[in-house]
Structure 1
Amino acid sequence: MSVNRESVREIIEAIGGKENINTATHCVTRLRLVLNDESLVDKERLENIDLVKGSFSTNGQFQIVIGQGTVDKAYKILAEETGVQEASKDDVKNAAAEKMNPLQRAVKTLADIFIPILPAIVTAGLLMGINNILTQGGIFMEESVVEAFPQWADIASIINLIANTAFVFLPGLIGWSALTRFGGSPLFGMVLGLMLVHPDLLNAWGYGSAEEIPTWNLFGLTVEKVGYQGQVLPILVASWVLAKIEIWLRKRIPDAFQLLTVAPISLLITGFLAFTVIGPITFTIGGWLVDGVTGIFDAVPAIGGLIYGGLYAPLVITGMHHTFLAVDLQLIGSIGGTFLWPMVALSNIAQGAAAFAMMIVERNNEKVKGLAVSSGVSAWLGVTEPAMFGVNLRYRYPFIAAIIGSAIAGLIITLGDVIAPSIGVGGIPAFFSIENNYWPVFFIGMGVAIVVPALLTLLFSKFSKAK
C-alpha cells in the first residue's frame, strides 16, 4: 500500500494532534508512540483510515499497526508533519515507564528480561519436539524411528544436545538479559549465570536423589555445593545484586583500574551471596511457587484449566502474560514440564480462529477481510497481537468467543493432564513441544479452540447486526 501525506495527517489528528505526541519511534510493522493523553485518541476515526490496520495500547505505548515496509514511510511523514525527533526504542520505553504503576513496571521488567531470550527457548522447544518424534514409539509405528532405523540415532542425539543447551544453561541466558535490563555488563551476567550451573556443582535435578550433598566450609559456615539448573528466581535476584554492585563500583573506581577491579569484586561478592543467601532463599521461594500452582491445579483441575484458559488473552491486554513465562520455566526446571503453556497455545489458536471467522462476517469489507486473514495466520503461528488488537477487540464479540473457546479447551487438556517438557511455538505447531502420549487430548483441545470460537463468532455476529 502506498503511503500518502493526507493519510498520515489523518492519523495525527485522530490521536489528538501533534501536541499530544510525547515520543515516537517505529518497529517493523507499527508506529510506537507515547502520548500525553491517550483519552484524546479517536479510535473509531483512527481505524477507519485505510493506512491503519489496527491499534492498541500496551505498557504505556500507543501502537498503530501500519504494515511492513509502509511503516517506515509513514513514520518519516509523521516526523515531518509533527517535528518530532526519532527516538530509540529505549527512549520510548523509558517515557512509557514514567506512566506506569509499580506492578506495571515490575511486569515490564520481566518482559524486558525474558522476551530477548524467548527465540532461543522456542527454538529449543521445537528441536526437542523433533527429537521426541524420532525417539518415542507409538507415533508412526509401535517402535520409535531410531529403533527402526538405527542410523538415525546419532542424528537424534545431536538434535537433543542442541535442543537441551538453552535449558541446561538457562541461567546464563537470563543473566545476560537481566544485566542488560538492570544497566550492568551483559557479559558479567552471563558469567554469573554459568557460574550457577558449573559442572563442579551438584546438578539441581539430582539434588533430591543424591545420597550425599557436597559442601563448602566458608568461615565456619556450611554451604551446599548445589547448582541451579532450570531455576529462574536465583539468577534474577543475583543479577540485580550484581548490577547494583557493578554500577556502584564504576562510579567510584578510576577508569584506569576498572578492568582489574570491577569484574573481580562484583562477581566475587555476588558469587558468595548467590551460594550462601540468594540461592537457598530463592530456591525455596521457587519451590513454594511451584507447589502453589501445581496444588491449585491438582485440587481443582477443571476450574484451574477453565480460568487460565479463559484469562490468558485478557492478561495479554495488560501485558501481565509475560510473568507466566517465568512460571513456565520454573515449572519445567522443577517438575520437568509445564501444564500452563499448552493452554497458552490453545488461547492463541482460539484468537486466530475468531479472526478467521471475521473474514466471513466482514466479507464485503476488503480491509477487515485482509487483516483477518493475515492476523489469523499470525495467531496460529504464535503471535496474537494483530488478531486481538486489529480485529477481535475492535468488534468485541470475536474476542469473547475466543475466550470461551479457549476456556473450554483449557479445561479439556487440564483434565487430560497434558504437559509440555519445553516451550515452543504457541500456535498450531505447539504439539511438537508436547509429549506425544498427550497428543490425542491436545488435538481434541485444539479442535475445540478452532471450532467453538469460529462458530460463536458467526453466531454473535447475527445478534450484533440485529441490534
Structure 2
Amino acid sequence: MTDKHTRTARDLLDLVGGAANVTSIAHCISRLRLGIADPGRVRTRQVTDHPAVLGVVEDGTYQIVLGPAAVDRVAEAFEKLVDENRVSVKGTDAAGTDAAALAARGAALKAAWKEKNATPGKLLLRRIADIFVPLIPALIACGIIAGLGATLNSLALSTHSSALTGIVPVTTALSQGFMSLIAVFVGHNTAKEFGGTPVLGGAVAGIVVHPGVANVTHTPFGHLKPGQGGVLGALGAALLCAALERWARRRVPDALQMLLVPTIAVALSGLAALMVLMPLAGVIADGIGNGATWLLGHAGAGAGVVLGGLFATLVMLGLHQALIPIHATLIEHQGYSALYPILAMAGGGQAGAALAVYLRARHNPSLRRVIRSALPTCVLGVAEPVIYGVTLPLVRPFVTAGIGAGVGGGVVGLFAQLGLTTGSTAIGPSGLVLLPLLDGTHGLGPAALVYTSGWLTAATAGCAATYVFGFTPAMLADLNSPPGDGNRSFGLIRSDSR
C-alpha cells in the first residue's frame, strides 16, 4: 500500500508536468526545490490547493513548501518516481525525440524565466548561501554538544565530581573538531559552487588554519596567525583557486593538465591567501565582531527593532541564508552570534500572527487546517510554512507579524544594550529549539531567559497587532465566506508580484 508521502510525490509530479519537465530536484529544511524545463506546463493553482502543500514560491527554482516533517520523505519519493519514469521511456525512439525537443524548448523558456526573476546580486548571494547551507547540520550538532559540555562543566565545578570533569574534555573535542576545520569545508564547497575542483578548494583553505602559518613572517602585513580571517579568508582563497583552475585549464596542454593545473591553482591562490587575503579577511572579521558589539552596546533596542522586524522579508526572498558567513564569523571570534537571537524573533512574530488569523478565520476550515499544521513547526523554529502558507498570501498579517518581531527584537536588543548580551553558539534552529544553543555574557541561564522573554513578546505583539490591524472588513468577509461564495487563495506567492 502506498504511503501518504509517496502519494503526495506522485500527485506533485503530475502537477508539475511529469518527469520530462523536471530538470533538477533538491530540498532544504521545508521546501522541495525543482528545476522546471517548461514553466507553462506547471499547474500552480492545483499544486497550491493540494492538501500537503503549504505554499509555492517561484524564484529561480520552483519551490513547494511542504514543512520539515514531510519534505525529506516526499523529496525522496519524488526523485525515485522521476528516475523510474525516465528509465521506463528509454529505448523508445519517439519518446526520446519528444524528450529532446522538449528539453530544447524548455531550456530556452528556463533561460528567459531565470533572466526575468534573477539579478546578479541576488544570484551571488544565493551562491554564497549554498556554500554554507550544507554545513548547518554539523553546526547544529556541534552547538548542542558544546552547550551540553558547558552544562556538565558547570556541574563539575559545583559538585567537584571527577567523573564529570573527565567528560568535559570529550565534549570539547566533539564540539570543536568541526569548528577548528570549518574553513576547509567552506573552501571545499566554495570551489564546488564556483566551478573548481572541491578538493583543491579545501586544500587552499586548509592553509588558513595550518599551525605553520605562524612561522610566515615576511608578508606586507607582518606576522600571521593560524585561522586569521577564518571562513572569510577561506572563502576568498577558494574562490580565487577556482578561478585560477579554470584559467589554467584553458591554457595548459592536455598532457600536462593533471600535473600543472592543480599546482598552479593551489600555489598562486595559497600565496595570495598568505600575503593578502588572510590579513584582509582578518580585518573584515574583526570589523564584523567589533561592529556587532558596538551596535548592540550603543543602539541595541533600536537595532533589535529594525533587524527583528525586517528579517522575515529576507526569509521571504530566500536571502536570509546569505547572513550565514556573518554568523559563522561571530561564532568563530566571540563564541556566539549576538545577532542570531534577534533575527529569530521573526519566528515569534509569525507564530503570533498565525494564531490571530486562526482566531479571526473561524469559518474557514481549510485555512485553519493549514495553520494547525504549520504553527507547531513555527514555534519549534521553522517559520517558512507559516510565511508562505498563511501570512504572506494575506499580506497584512505578514506586515503585522513583522511589527511583533520588531518588538521582540527590541527586547533582546535592550538587554544587550544594558550589558546582558544573548547569542547563539550555532545557526540553523530558531524558535524554542534554539534554547540549548544559547550563550552570552552571563551564561546559558540568563541568555535563555532573555531569549524566551523576547520570543513570547514577539508572539504576543504579533498576535495583537494582527488581530486588530491585520484585516480589512472585506478580508474578514472573504475569509469566513462559504467555500462556494468567494475566491480564497492561500499559499501562492509569485516572484514577479513582489
Fold agreement, TM-score > 0.5: yes
CA drift of 1:6 comes to: 9.1
Q: 1:7 to 1:105 in 2, by over 3 A?
A: closer
Match status 1:103 vs 2:105 = no
Q: Deviation per CA, 1:280-310, whole angstroms, max 9, x where unpaired? A: 2232233334444444333322211100000
Other-structure match for 1:433: 437
Match status 1:172 vs 2:194 = no
Q: Deviation per CA, 1:304-345, whole angstroms, max 9, x where unpaired? A: 110000000001122332222111122223344321101232
Give the RMSD, CA atoms, in angstroms. 3.8
| Secondary structure class of the residue paired with 1:338 | coil
Other-structure match for 1:266: 265
Match status 1:286 vs 2:285 = yes
Other-structure match for 1:445: 454
> Conserved in 2, the CA contact under 8 Å of 1:171 and 1:197?
yes
Letter in 2 for 1:154: G
Q: Map 1:87-102; keep pairs closer than 5 Å.
A: 98-99=115-116, 100-102=118-120
Q: Which of these residues, 161, 178, 203, is aligned with residue 191 of structure 1?
A: 203
Q: 1:309 to 1:292 in 2, by over 3 A?
A: same
Q: d(CA) in 2 for partners of 1:105 and 1:395?
A: 27
Q: 1:288 to 1:392 in 2, by over 3 A?
A: same
Q: d(CA) in 2 for partners of 1:398 and 1:181?
A: 37
Q: Quick check: 41-50 or 100-109, which moved more?
A: 41-50
Match status 1:56 vs 2:67 = no
Other-structure match for 2:387: 388
| Secondary structure class of the residue paired with 2:227 | coil
CA drift of 1:97 comes to: 5.4
Q: 1:249 to 1:162 in 2, by over 3 A?
A: same
Q: d(CA) in 1 for partners of 2:298 and 2:150?
A: 30
Q: Map 1:296-307; keep pairs closer than 5 Å.
A: 296-307=295-306
Q: Deviation per CA, 1:3-22, whole angstroms, max 9, x where unpaired? A: 6999977x56xxxxx7xx98
CA drift of 1:52 comes to: 4.1
Other-structure match for 1:310: 309
CA drift of 1:104 comes to: 0.7
CA drift of 1:217 comes to: 3.5
| Secondary structure class of the residue paired with 2:342 | helix
Q: 1:230 to 1:129 in 2, by over 3 A?
A: farther
Q: d(CA) in 1 for partners of 2:295 and 2:356?
A: 34
CA drift of 1:465 comes to: 1.2
CA drift of 1:73 comes to: 6.0
TM-score by length of 1: 0.79
Q: 1:439 to 1:3 in 2, by over 3 A?
A: closer
Q: d(CA) in 2 for partners of 1:238 and 1:4?
A: 41
> Conserved in 2, the CA contact under 8 Å of 1:35 and 1:62?
no
Other-structure match for 1:370: 369
CA drift of 1:452 comes to: 2.6
Other-structure match for 2:141: 123
> Conserved in 1, the CA contact under 8 Å of 2:423 and 2:447?
no
Structure 2: 5+ residue stretches without partners: 90-97, 479-498
Other-structure match for 2:223: 224
Identity of aligned residues (%): 24
> Conserved in 2, the CA contact under 8 Å of 1:309 and 1:347?
yes
Q: Map 1:117-266; keep pairs closer than 5 Å.
A: 117-136=135-154, 144-145=155-156, 147-148=158-159, 149-202=161-214, 215-217=216-218, 223-228=222-227, 231-266=230-265
Q: d(CA) in 2 for partners of 1:123 and 1:289?
A: 25
Q: d(CA) in 1 for partners of 2:78 and 2:200?
A: 39
Q: Quick check: 351-360 or 425-434, which moved more?
A: 351-360
Question: Would you say how many aligned residue pairs link Structure 1 and Structure 2?
Answer: 433
Q: 1:363 to 1:103 in 2, by over 3 A?
A: same
Q: 1:373 to 1:299 in 2, by over 3 A?
A: same
Q: 1:282 to 1:344 in 2, by over 3 A?
A: same
> Conserved in 2, the CA contact under 8 Å of 1:348 and 1:426?
yes
Q: 1:228 to 1:51 in 2, by over 3 A?
A: closer
> Conserved in 1, the CA contact under 8 Å of 2:352 and 2:458?
yes
CA drift of 1:124 comes to: 1.6
> Conserved in 1, the CA contact under 8 Å of 2:361 and 2:476?
no
